[in-house]
Structures are given as structure tokens and as C-alpha cells.
């Protein structure tokens, strides 16, 4: 379950994001509670994110990477930092930074 990685990518460290059908976790209002790439794109669109062409660093833009499995279900979300590195959460564990090559 992506949950905490999604909230970390959204810069929300107060609530666990997940589109659970019972509504026990936070999910943006008006966005379907389904674990699909399309729905995750809609959820982050509520924060003014939009689809971009690549992962290259662009001044004035914060990029996210939504990872999916073979069935198209989101498995992880990362956020690009101002220095071009990527940050993510490992579930409820530590946050990490990755230098993209």
C-alpha cells in the first residue's frame, strides 16, 4: 500500500493518504477511492500537479513520480527536491533521498 509515500509526496505529514473504499484514510474530496494510476493523478491534481513529459529538474515546478505494478496499481510515490534529488518514504519508516543519474 502506497499510503504514507503519497502523503510524503504531497508534503502532508499529518495524515495517511490512501483511497480505501471505507474512507478510513484521508483522500482528497471528490476523487474516487480506487487504487489506479488515473485516480492518483486526479488526487495530486487537487494540489495543482499535472502530467509532465520527463523527470528533468525544472525551476518553479515540483515533480512527482508515481510508480505502478504490472496491473497498473500504484506502489510508490516520490517527490523531486529543488536540487534534483528525489525524496520518498519507506512506508511508515524513514524518509529517503535518491540522486537520479
- What is residue 86's predicted lDDT score, i.e. its pLDDT? 86
| pLDDT above 90 as % of the chain | 47
Write the DSSP string, 44-96.
HHTTT----S-----TT---EEEEE-TTS-EEEEEEE-TTS-EEEE-TTS-EE
The string of pLDDT tens digits covering residues 13-58 is 677 888 989 999 899 999 999 999 999 999 999 999 999 999 999 9
What number of other Cβ atoms are within 10 A of residue 96's Cβ? 13
Residues 70, 93, 79, 41: what is their CA dihedral angle, to the nearest 10 degrees? 50
Domain ranges for the chain, please list them: 4-98
Residue 4 confidence class, pLDDT cut points 50, 70, 90? low
What are 53-97's pLDDT values in tens digits? 999 999 999 999 998 999 999 988 888 988 888 888 765 555 545
The answer, yes or no, to whether residue 7 has pLDDT greater than 80, is no
> Does the predicted TM-score (pTM) go above 0.75?
yes
43, 17 in Cβ contact below 8 A? Answer: yes
Residue 6 backbone phi and psi in degrees, to 5: -65, -45
Amino acid at each position: 500500500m502506497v499510503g504514507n509515500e503519497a502523503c510524503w509526496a504531497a508534503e502532508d505529514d499529518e495524515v495517511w493518504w490512501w483511497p480505501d473504499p471505507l474512507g478510513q484514510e484521508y483522500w482528497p474530496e471528490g476523487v474516487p477511492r480506487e487504487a489506479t494510476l488515473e485516480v492518483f493523478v486526479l488526487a495530486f491534481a487537487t494540489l495543482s500537479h499535472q502530467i509532465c513529459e520527463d523527470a528533468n529538474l525544472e525551476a518553479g515546478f515540483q515533480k512527482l513520480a508515481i510508480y505502478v505494478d504490472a496491473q497498473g496499481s500504484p506502489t510508490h510515490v516520490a517527490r523531486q527536491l529543488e536540487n534534483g534529488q528525489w525524496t520518498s518514504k519507506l512506508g511508515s519508516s524513514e524518509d529517503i533521498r535518491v540522486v537520479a543519474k
